[in-house]
Amino acid sequence: MLTVNEKLCTGCRICEQVCSMEHHREFNAGLSRIKIASKWPEEEKVIICRQCKAQSCIKACSQGALTFNGFVVLDKDRCDSCGKCLEVCPFGFNLKDKENKPLFCDTCQGNYQCVNWCPSKAIRKGGE
């Protein structure tokens, strides 16, 4: 589970860069599973799957494409890109890839690279 303190977020988007680098070995914010949305000069909004206990996304999926294994796992073959999982997210998570399939955080195999790299500690592992 991830916790986010948006007051601390500076909007540097190092998390976006690290995420796409870790997963795709390139810098491409569009492939990142985390996104900082901001409406200057207001506060930053951190958009990422929090791996929460509610798991409304899993319940909402009619294709059985989502399971929970410490984080939300997507079976890409089963996903029909309907977007219901994102509509029901209580945290407003809404990131999709180019095929409109959800971009859930996979915790970088438990390494949580965005947490490691965040210079302002705006994003943390639950309990830390």
Partner 1 sequence: MQWFGYAGKLLYVNLSNGNYEVKELAPEQAKKYLGGKGLAASILYDCLQPGQDPLGPENLLVFATGPLTGTLAPTSSRMIVATKSPLTGLWLDSNAGGFLGRELKFAGYDALIVEGKSLEPVYILIEDDRVELRPANNLWGKDTFETHQTLKELHGTDYRVAAIGQAGERMDKLAAIISEARAFGRGGAGAVMGSKNLKAIVVRGTRGINIADYQKFVDYVKEAFNEVAIHPDTGGGRNHYGTSVIYSFINEAGVHPVENFRKGKFTGTDTINEEVLRSKYYKKDKACSSCPIACSKLTKVDEGKYQGKFTEGPEYEDVWSFGAQCGNTDLGAVIYAEYLCDAYGLDATSVGNVVGFAMECFEQGALTQEEIGYPLRFGDTEAMIKTVEAICQGQGIGKLLAQGVRYASEQIGKGSEKWAMHVKGMELPAYDPRGAFGMGLAYATSDRGGCHLRSWPIAQEVLAANRMDPFSVEFKAEFVKSEQDLIAVIDSLGLCLFATFALSLKQIVGMLSALTGIQEFNSGEKLMVIGERIYNLTRLFNLREGMAPASDTLPERLLTEQLAEGPAAGQVVPLDIMLKEYYTIRHWDEAGRPLPAKLEELGL
* Number of residues forming the site for partner 1 (CB under 8 A): 28
CB-nearer residue toward partner 1: 12 or 82: 12
Whether 126 and 3 have beta carbons less than 8 Å apart is answered as yes
Least distance between partner 1 and beta carbon 43 (Å): 7
Query: Checking DSSP bridges between strand 44-47 and strand 66-68, what pairing results, if any?
Result: unpaired
Among the listed ranges 12-20, 46-54, 77-85, 103-111, the one in contact with partner 1 (CB under 8 A) is: 12-20
| 5, 67, 111, 120: residue in contact with partner 1 (rule CB under 8 A) | 120
- The residue to which tokens 């945290």 are assigned: 91
| 1, 3, 5, 29: residue in contact with partner 1 (rule CB under 8 A) | 29
Q: Does residue 111 belong to the site contacting partner 1 (CB under 8 A)?
A: no
**How far apart, in whole angstroms, are the C-alpha atoms of residue 66 and residue 119?**
32
Three-state SS letters, 33-96 = CCEEEECCCCCEEEECCCCCCCCHHHHHCCCCCEEECCCEEECCCCCCCCCHHHHCCCCCCCCE
Among the listed ranges 73-81, 87-95, 99-107, 116-124, the one in contact with partner 1 (CB under 8 A) is: 116-124
CB-nearer residue toward partner 1: 61 or 86: 86
Task: Tally the residues of the chain.
Answer: 128
Q: Does residue 21 belong to the site contacting partner 1 (CB under 8 A)?
A: yes
Among the listed ranges 35-43, 62-70, 82-90, 101-109, the one in contact with partner 1 (CB under 8 A) is: 35-43
